[in-house]
């Protein structure tokens, strides 16, 4: 399964190609799904382009994206969008339009409460397990582990020379993952090496401007669709 992560916490400073408004997100998603993406991860934005979990922003992003596609759509619940865990839970309980799933970074304070609030509302949980954190250990000990939709294994090592090894180490720490499916991905310079590894291991993966701004050859990407096309082409080519 190829997920497209269309914007992440990036903003206008990362270039005009980053979709920040609901309309721009919808256009980018439509193109990426046409290119072969089968799942969507978006970061709803405030009017000034910052990540937010407010019901109004989440509803606007979801309604716009769902007007152009029927594939599952998820959002972030990252602590950078709302540092107070109680406020994060409050926002989730106030959402008027629900995503199909939402990512919860298990190393962040309040992760269990955020995940529980999502599950209570019938929203699938992507358990974000970052390398270089204690997220894997916390997730392994969590009673909510068997109830998540999948594990989102995020390799934070940006070095293309070492990202694959970091990915294998992360998967080793995650272990059985409570029997849940794993989506493996990297970021920045580690994006493409980790994506190749996910293909060899036959794991779900993702691509998009959240993770990288460049194509495998280092050229600047012009759209999420171009990244999806490049990723699927790379995965279909024998290593």
Q: Tens digit of pLDDT for each residue in 140-173?
A: 999 999 999 999 999 999 999 999 999 999 999 9
Structure tokens at 117: 């609030």
pLDDT in tens, 6-62: 999 999 899 989 999 999 999 999 999 999 999 999 999 999 899 999 999 999 999
- Quote the CA–CA distance of 136 and 64 in Å, as a whole number: 34
Phi-psi sector, 237: left (phi>0), alpha (psi -120 to 50), beta: beta
pLDDT band (50, 70, 90) for residue 121: very high
pLDDT of residue 204 exceeding 70, the answer is yes
Q: How far apart are CA 66 and CA 128, in angstroms?
A: 24
Q: How confident is the model at residue 239 (pLDDT cuts 50, 70, 90)?
A: low
Bridge-partner residues for 124, per DSSP?
A: 101
Tell me the mean pLDDT in the region 77-93: 96
Q: What is the pTM of this model?
A: 0.95
* Averaged pLDDT for residues 170-197: 96
Task: Give the model's pLDDT for residue 109.
Answer: 95
């Amino acid at each position: 399964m190829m997920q497209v992560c269309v914007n992440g916490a990036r903003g206008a400073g990362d270039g005009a190609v980053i979709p920040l408004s609901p309309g721009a997100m919808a256009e980018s998603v439509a193109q990426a799904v046409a290119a072969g993406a089968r799942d969507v991860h978006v970061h709803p934005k405030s009017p000034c382009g910052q990540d937010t979990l407010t019901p109004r922003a989440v509803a606007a992003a979801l309604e716009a994206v769902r007007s152009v596609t029927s594939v599952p759509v998820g959002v972030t619940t990252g602590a950078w969008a709302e540092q107070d865990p109680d406020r994060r839970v409050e926002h989730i309980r106030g959402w008027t339009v629900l995503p199909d799933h939402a990512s919860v970074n298990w190393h962040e304070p309040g992760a269990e409460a955020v995940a529980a609030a999502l599950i209570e509302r019938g929203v699938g949980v992507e358990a974000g397990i970052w390398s270089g954190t204690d997220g894997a250990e916390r997730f392994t000990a969590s009673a909510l582990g068997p109830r998540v939709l999948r594990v989102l294994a995020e390799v934070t090592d940006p070095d293309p020379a070492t990202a694959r090894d970091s990915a294998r180490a992360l998967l080793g720490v995650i272990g059985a993952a409570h029997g849940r499916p794993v989506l493996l991905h990297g970021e920045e310079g580690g994006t493409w090496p980790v994506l190749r590894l996910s293909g060899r291991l036959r794991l779900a993966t993702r691509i998009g401007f959240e993770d990288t701004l460049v194509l495998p050859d280092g050229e600047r990407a012009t759209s999420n669709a171009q990244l999806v096309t490049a990723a699927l082409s790379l995965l279909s080519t024998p290593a």
